[in-house]
Structure 1
Amino acid sequence: MLTPLALLLAVALLLGRGLVWIVNLLVVLPLFDPLRKLPGPTGPFFFSHIQRVVDPDFSATQHEEWKKQYGKTFRYHGSGKFDYRLMTFDLRAVSHILMSPIYQKPRVTRTFLSTMLGKGIFTTEGAEHTFQRKIIGPAFTLQSIKTLTPIFLRTAEELHDKWEGMLSNGQETIDVCHWISRATFDAFEELYLAFRRMFDLADKKGILRILIPMLDKIWPDKIARSVLESRQVIYATGRRLISEKKSTILDQKLSSNGPTEKDLLSLLIQSNICNDDSTKTLSDPDLLDQISSFFFAGSDTTALSLSWCLYFLALHPDIQTRLREELTHPTAPPQSSNSEDRAYDVLDSFPLLDSVVRETLRLAPPVHGTLRVATQNDLIPVSEPVVLTNGTLVSPGEHIKIRKGSIIHIPIEGLNFAKDIWSEDALEFRPDRWNSLPPAAQPPHFPGLANLMTFSFGPNSCPGYRFTITEMKAFLSTILPRFTFALPEGQSIGKRNGLFTRPFVRGKSKMGVQLPLIVKRVDECNPA
């Protein structure tokens, strides 16, 4: 049993260690941080620039202001003046960071996501991530997406039928974000409700609980308990679906007809079980984490992109009319003998549709930005000059130093909005820009998948980018020839960043995520 003196000494030792840690964090480490020498905005000791970086009301213009003032590579303050973070718009530096195994998602980010999604492809790093990506890759090949296209079109028809039934007077104000989210979950209604509840709650989590995830286990509040309940529903449903699908697929594999299940869930399971080596497949719990991740990415993000697309078309009725005309009168429909290939090729044959989808994904990326942390000291190459605070010039082809543990912010939205890449009208919705992109927005100058930073690139790029683009085209090609979309009078839509960039009605933020549009039948607009 500890004597009072021993207990006092133990407490003093703990307090002393805590004090040393705080002094080291706030004073010593910043003095020797190489990022200290980079140019960038400043402020009081505990002042943070995070709001200017992540709030869509500021970031679109703040990024350009900082680039003009400090160049394309600079630092800003995260939690305070002691927390130097790197931000770069230099595509050479961005490529190095996203391609190098040295840079990983911060542990806090991965832990936060894994509390909802498990250890799926979006929360793992290194060899585990590479292994998972190899297993699920076949589910997202071009041929797999062609296989899924009829399912996308069928689901879009179901959404059309629901909206048609709501238009009792020929038009109605509909929260398109809500209904598209439900539609992209297809027949999995219980999953939709659980995911929707979980992500809405996750957006409300305080910064302390994000930074210290153990708090949810040690002292769970109402939000933490509700998130856990939603996750339990998701996993119970997922286990049942995996069991049913796996049984069906194995039965089909034994038959002479071969597999006929062609939804994403079935493709993921087929991709996993086609390998006879059990060491190169995912266990059912691991597969469940992957499915959770892709319902999350493939449904919620695609639904948000579709919602933003209809919003942009409502803002630009002239483009909406042109696109409807293109979809209604295809010029030369492909004549493939395979029905799945033909469905995909038809969608791929509409140039304006492709441009509208890409322009939407450029202006409204579901993920505003992404963080990386250096796992060791490194030298980051630059292709644009950097003038350090002491006047030293880092010339193109040279490097800037970064220490282990430093955080890098990759500004996905900022790169998609960059005027030096997309021209002076970068903040405008102009699909025709895709007919003749500026050289800076084309490979090899711009390295993002589909000419966008929205899907990132490198080992952690989004494997489902074809899935998103094709599903968006399928929905638009189905509903736009039959409905028109317009903004309700006096309504202003804002962006809110949480896990994703979501829409809300200004002045009604307490009502949560919504995007109400006036939906009207085309035949009501053009009576015979």
Structure 2
Amino acid sequence: MSLLPYPVSALTLIVGSYVVHVIWSRRRVQRAIANVPAPKSASFWTGNLPLLYDPHRGWPFIDSIQDAGSIFRLTTPIGFNDMIYVADPLALYYIYRKDEASFEEPDDVLIIERVVFGNDSIFCTEGARHRKQRKFLNPIFSTAHMKKMVPIFCDVSHKLRNTLQLMTAKGPVEVDMVNWLTRTALELIGQAGIGYTFDSLAMEETPNVYGAVLKEGVSAISSPTLRMGMKYVLPFVAGMGTPGFWKVIIDHISLDVLQSARHFVLEMDRSSKEIYETKKKALTEGDETLSKQIVGGNDLISLLMRANMSAKEEEQLTDEEVVAQISSFVFAATDTTSSALSRALCLLAEHPTIQDRLREEILNAKRNCEAGEEGDLNYDEMEALEFLDAICRETMRLYPPAPFIDRTTLKDTIIPLAFPITDVRGSELKEVFIPKDTVITIAIASMNRSVKVWGPDVMEWKPQRWLDGLPESVVSAQIPGIYSHLMTFSGGKRSCLGFKFSQLEMKAVLCDLISTFRFSPSPKHSKVTFPMSTIVCPSIDGKPSLPLILEA
């Protein structure tokens, strides 16, 4: 007779069976991919995966493994959960185009996205529901709508320019651009994305609380401690207990990064619901009320809500789905945009000849623009700036804001390789068997930096390469990214919806800043690093910072 009550014995049996199932499925994966070579690990106990996630060793790690092949194994603590790192163009084509239905975001990624954005965000939905949302959202990012965004981008950029002009009125001055670019990125997506103003960008104004919470939240979610916990703990405990139970548990865990992430989630949910209710009221009251809103109701969410109201009932998104897109838009656009702009300004400061050439192109275009002498450029005029476009593309190639993302296999599959590898037994592999439940890291930065695809000067920031014509090796590689032979904005069913929006933001701000100021490195420049993270951000001694000298 059991010494334990029946319910406890049953629970023990259920948990024990689940653990055995997990261990068995992981052992199957481990055995199947054991022949794929792996770069040297820091130790048996940690594997080499922590090197990829390490803020300071991550970039050197991915750059040092160019010779390890286009696909290899990421070893994990105690070898329990090894992953496959993919930077092969044919393998990525197979994953994103040929057999896309066999790959999805891993459980740990989907779970944390649902914790952050709720179950209704396009980041988190799957299958038919995800396809329905994308079908609804794709027209919102059409060229016709993007043309209406450019004046909004210019207006926000002018706010930043005017403040920086006040700072430089008495001569050259050192400015920490990270703070200003983050505030600007938030205001850009605020006005153009959701029709809401977060920040006047005035010197004396305290940055919006949402922006501060967003920065802290992204930093917390990107921290190695939380990322490793999400990867190895969250998938196993997420189904246990109610949301209320986990809220109580999280409230009482005094881990700083966890509390920052919690605060961020709560503030984002509150703000998104408030913005949605305000917009819904304005849309109900009609065009006159809507015209009094920020940007007159021409923001992306207003466009979405109008389209939703006129759609057939069975095709409409729910209120919860629309609210979730507000959170998603703001989160996705803020740090990625500020990251890209920070990197571009840093590079232009380091390359004064390229900066001068860009300034000349912008000023010439402004003198001849439709708005009159040195007015704002419209969509077509901005898109005609070939050197600006080359600078944006080259920055996105060499320094993608998000260096890698994960996918998992939904069934056993065989992935073909453009560049064969030698397995651990010395045999050549032209394809690799990947079992169900294997996590695959899509090597965005490594694919963009592939010597085999881009040539021996791949690590050089060289905007001119986009004007001279790309080598045949790039064109023939058929890299499945949605943007310019790059994986920066991903590809397939989960590609970045707002990649064109993002590019226009970047161009509008650069047009304004480069035509007004000269940027050069500050004496602190040697201390600036761009640590590996979910979203890369310039830092000094672990704190976000990009000091540059500005001269009007």
Distance in 2 (alpha carbons) for counterparts of 1:248 and 1:176? 36
Sort the Cα spacing of 1:315 and 1:440 in 2 relative to 1 into closer, same or farther, 3 A.
same
Deviation at 1:75, TM superposition (A): 1.9
Distance in 2 (alpha carbons) for counterparts of 1:416 and 1:478? 28
3-state SS, counterpart of residue 282 of structure 2: helix
**What residue number does 2:407 align with?**
372
Alignment partner of 1:267 is 2:299: no
Task: Select between 91-100 and 406-415 the one with higher mean Cα deviation.
Answer: 91-100
Deviation at 1:238, TM superposition (A): 1.8
Distance in 2 (alpha carbons) for counterparts of 1:358 and 1:66? 24
CA contact (8 A) 1:64 1:418 kept: no
Amino acid at match of 2:489: F
**What residue number does 2:201 align with?**
none
Alignment partner of 1:519 is 2:550: yes
Sort the Cα spacing of 1:34 and 1:40 in 2 relative to 1 into closer, same or farther, 3 A.
same
Deviation at 1:51, TM superposition (A): 3.2
Deviation at 1:181, TM superposition (A): 1.3
Deviation at 1:151, TM superposition (A): 0.1
Deviations 1:293-345 (A, max 9, x none): 111112221121111111111111111111111111129956599xx997101
CA contact (8 A) 1:455 1:465 kept: yes
Sort the Cα spacing of 1:250 and 1:148 in 2 relative to 1 into closer, same or farther, 3 A.
farther
**What residue number does 1:143 align with?**
144
Q: Among residues 404, 413, 419, which one is paired with 2:436 in the alignment?
A: 404
Q: Among residues 453, 464, 468, which one is paired with 1:432 in the alignment?
A: 464
**What residue number does 1:479 align with?**
513
Distance in 1 (alpha carbons) for counterparts of 2:218 and 2:336? 12
**What residue number does 1:53 align with?**
52
Matched ranges for 1:59-74 at <5 A: 59-63=58-62, 65-69=64-68, 71-74=69-72
Deviation at 1:230, TM superposition (A): 3.1
**What residue number does 2:242 align with?**
none
Alignment partner of 1:245 is 2:275: no
Amino acid at match of 1:181: T
**What residue number does 2:170 align with?**
169
CA contact (8 A) 1:117 1:293 kept: yes
3-state SS, counterpart of residue 74 of structure 2: strand
Amino acid at match of 1:194: V
Matched ranges for 1:98-497 at <5 A: 98-99=96-97, 100-119=100-119, 120-186=121-187, 187-188=197-198, 189-204=208-223, 205-206=225-226, 207-209=228-230, 211-213=232-234, 217=247, 219-220=249-250, 221-222=253-254, 223=256, 224-252=258-286, 260-275=296-311, 277-330=312-365, 333=368, 343-395=378-430, 399-435=431-467, 436-442=469-475, 445-451=478-484, 452-491=486-525, 492-497=527-532
Deviations 1:363-394 (A, max 9, x none): 22111101111111112122332333344433
**What residue number does 2:190 align with?**
none
Provide structure 2 residue ranges, at least 5 long, that are not aligned to the other structure: 188-196, 199-207, 239-245
CA contact (8 A) 2:481 2:491 kept: yes
3-state SS, counterpart of residue 386 of structure 1: strand
Sort the Cα spacing of 1:103 and 1:8 in 2 relative to 1 into closer, same or farther, 3 A.
closer
Alignment partner of 1:499 is 2:530: no
Q: Percent identity?
A: 26
Distance in 2 (alpha carbons) for counterparts of 1:431 and 1:63? 22
Deviation at 1:59, TM superposition (A): 4.6
Task: Select between 143-152 and 430-439 the one with higher mean Cα deviation.
Answer: 430-439
Sort the Cα spacing of 1:372 and 1:390 in 2 relative to 1 into closer, same or farther, 3 A.
same
CA contact (8 A) 2:290 2:297 kept: no
Deviation at 1:108, TM superposition (A): 0.4
Q: Name the Cα RMSD after superposition.
A: 3.3
Distance in 2 (alpha carbons) for counterparts of 1:387 and 1:7? 52
Structure 1 stretches (4+) deviating beyond 6 angstroms?
5-12, 254-257
Sort the Cα spacing of 1:270 and 1:48 in 2 relative to 1 into closer, same or farther, 3 A.
farther
Deviation at 1:103, TM superposition (A): 0.7
Deviations 1:274-311 (A, max 9, x none): 31x12212112211111111111122211211111111
**What residue number does 1:526 align with?**
none
CA contact (8 A) 1:136 1:272 kept: no
Distance in 2 (alpha carbons) for counterparts of 1:10 and 1:236? 40
Provide structure 1 residue ranges, at least 5 long, that are not aligned to the other structure: 522-528
Sort the Cα spacing of 1:247 and 1:324 in 2 relative to 1 into closer, same or farther, 3 A.
same
Deviation at 1:462, TM superposition (A): 0.5
3-state SS, counterpart of residue 276 of structure 2: helix
3-state SS, counterpart of residue 537 of structure 2: strand
3-state SS, counterpart of residue 530 of structure 2: strand
TM-score (norm 2): 0.83
Deviation at 1:105, TM superposition (A): 0.8
Task: Select between 494-503 and 352-361 the one with higher mean Cα deviation.
Answer: 494-503
Q: Among residues 59, 83, 86, which one is paired with 1:85 in the alignment?
A: 83
Distance in 2 (alpha carbons) for counterparts of 1:463 and 1:194? 24
CA contact (8 A) 1:181 1:300 kept: yes
3-state SS, counterpart of residue 274 of structure 2: helix
Deviation at 1:272, TM superposition (A): 2.8
Task: Select between 121-130 and 204-213 the one with higher mean Cα deviation.
Answer: 204-213
Amino acid at match of 1:428: E
